């Protein structure tokens, strides 16, 4: 039973697809199917509202998530009332979504469900820690990696990444693109003292001096950095950027004379939106990147079939991926 034992060591796990139709839901169903007979209490949620029965973007059939008796799931009020499954309401959360409040319910029988969840990191964190009230051992988050999503799946302890033909139909390109995300996930975490300080900073660009003191630079966005260049490094060469980081920032940092002493700190890997070329050229020049919240990668799953009809060779893809990442890779259709 691949990677299930790894999954059980976490209190929270997110499943993140690098693209739609990379087999995220299949992976989730696989895990739930394996966990159903174990003595582990599972709770399921998602980032925002998810779980439509057909994919709106590509109009392909999207497998629904099947849950089993005793599992807890989170659903928006309006979805809850349209459910097929028989389930018991445990609580109604104060968190609001476009489709009403979030309902926390326990499945009585086995059936398919539509998951919902908070759309921002704070509420997602609160919800996960709230699950302790219901003796939940593992909370699984159906995640999304997107600039549009305010909530980051990286707040969970563990993560499973799904990738596949939908992300790129060319095996070497697909491997390279996945390797990039893999590298980002493995970025080192800052020391605990600094982590605690930075955890509550939600916006802005902050300089960190050698004694780990924070200095707000009062620079509204990374695009203003150029104008404020003289101030940017007035407290040393460590910078924390709370929001998204783009090519612009990495290029700016790379072009500094002291690039090899610069250390950029970001909230988590999902806040980096630079292209691989720009990111790696910054690293090559000696720049360093660290994260406030690191998440452990439990597994990488591949889906060799894309909605456009590309069919990659499962074995070939699996092998080259494994070779590049040096961790076990699974084909969701074959496990």
Contact footprint for another protein (CB under 8 A): 77, 80-81, 84, 86-92, 103, 105-106, 108-110
| Shortest Å distance, C-beta 244 to another protein | 35
Question: Any idea what DSSP says for residue 299?
Answer: E
Q: With respect to another protein, which residue has the nearer C-beta, 80 or 240?
A: 80
Ramachandran assignment for 282, one of left (phi > 0), alpha (psi -120 to 50 degrees), beta (any other) = alpha
Task: Give whichever of 77 and 183 is closer to another protein, judged by the CB atom.
Answer: 77
> How far apart, in whole angstroms, are the C-alpha atoms of residue 323 and residue 328?
9
Shortest Cβ 132–another protein spacing (Å): 16
Residue number with CB closer to another protein (3 or 80): 80
State the minimum distance, in angstroms, from the CB of residue 93 to another protein: 11
Alpha-carbon span 11 to 324, nearest angstrom: 28
First CA to last CA distance, the chain:
8
Q: Which is nearer to another protein, 105 or 241 (CB)?
A: 105
Running DSSP on this structure, what letter comes out for residue 190?
P
Number of Cβ within 10 Å of residue 283's Cβ equals: 13
Rounded to a whole number of angstroms, the minimum distance from the CB of residue 89 to another protein is 4
Q: 16 or 49: whose CB is closer to another protein?
A: 49
Count other C-beta atoms under 10 Å from residue 193's C-beta: 9
Nearer to another protein, 38 or 89 (CB): 89
In whole angstroms, how close is the CB of 111 to another protein at the nearest point? 8
Indicate the residue among 101 and 231 with the shorter CB distance to another protein.
Answer: 101
Closest to 150 (Cα-Cα) out of 270, 44, 231, 40: 270
- Residue with smaller CB distance to another protein, 85 or 219: 85
261 touches 237 (CB < 8 A): yes
Considering the complex, what minimum distance in angstroms separates the CB of residue 126 from another protein? 16
CA atoms of 57 and 75, how far apart (whole Å)? 22
Alpha helices in the chain (DSSP H): 4-7, 24-35, 77-81, 121-130, 171-185, 192-199, 229-232, 247-254, 276-284, 314-325
Min dist. Cβ of residue 133 to another protein (A) = 12
CA distance 22 to 160: 12
At 265 the three-state DSSP class reads: strand
CA separation for the pair 75, 113 (Å, rounded) = 8
Nearest distance in Å: CB 118, another protein: 18
Nearest-angstrom CA–CA distance, 156 and 153: 6
The Cα 171–Cα 208 span in angstroms is 41
Nearer to another protein, 106 or 288 (CB): 106
| Closest distance of CB 55 from another protein, Å | 21
């Amino acid at each position: 039973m691949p990677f299930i034992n790894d999954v059980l060591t976490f209190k929270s796990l997110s499943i993140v697809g690098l693209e739609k139709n990379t087999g995220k839901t299949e992976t989730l169903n696989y895990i739930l199917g394996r966990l159903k007979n174990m003595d582990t209490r599972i709770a399921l949620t998602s980032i925002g509202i998810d779980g439509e029965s057909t994919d709106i973007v590509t109009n392909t059939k999207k497998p629904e998530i099947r849950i089993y008796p005793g599992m807890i799931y989170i659903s928006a009020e309006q979805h809850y009332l349209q459910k097929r499954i028989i389930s018991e309401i445990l609580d109604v959360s104060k968190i609001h979504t476009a489709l009403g409040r979030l309902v926390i319910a326990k499945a009585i029988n086995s059936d398919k469900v539509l998951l919902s969840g908070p759309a921002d990191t704070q509420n997602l964190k609160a919800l996960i820690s709230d699950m302790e009230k219901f003796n939940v051992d593992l909370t699984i988050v159906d995640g999304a990696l997107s600039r549009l999503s305010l909530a980051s799946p990286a707040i969970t302890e563990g993560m499973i990444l799904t990738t596949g033909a939908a992300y790129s139909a060319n095996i070497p390109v697909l491997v390279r693109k996945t390797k990039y995300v893999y590298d980002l996930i493995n970025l080192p975490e800052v020391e605990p003292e600094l982590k605690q300080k930075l955890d509550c900073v939600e916006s802005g660009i902050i300089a960190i001096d050698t004694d780990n003191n924070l200095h707000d630079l009062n620079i509204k966005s990374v695009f203003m950095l150029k104008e404020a260049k003289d101030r940017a490094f007035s407290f040393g060469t460590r910078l924390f950027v709370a929001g998204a980081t783009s090519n612009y920032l990495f290029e700016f940092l790379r072009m500094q004379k002291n690039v090899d002493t610069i250390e950029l700190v970001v909230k988590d890997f999902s806040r980096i939106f630079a292209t691989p070329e720009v990111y790696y050229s910054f690293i090559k020049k000696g720049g360093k990147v660290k994260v406030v919240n690191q998440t452990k990668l439990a597994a990488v799953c591949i889906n060799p079939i894309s909605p456009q009809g590309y069919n990659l060779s499962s074995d070939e893809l699996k092998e080259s991926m494994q070779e590049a990442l040096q961790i076990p890779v699974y084909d969701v259709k074959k496990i």
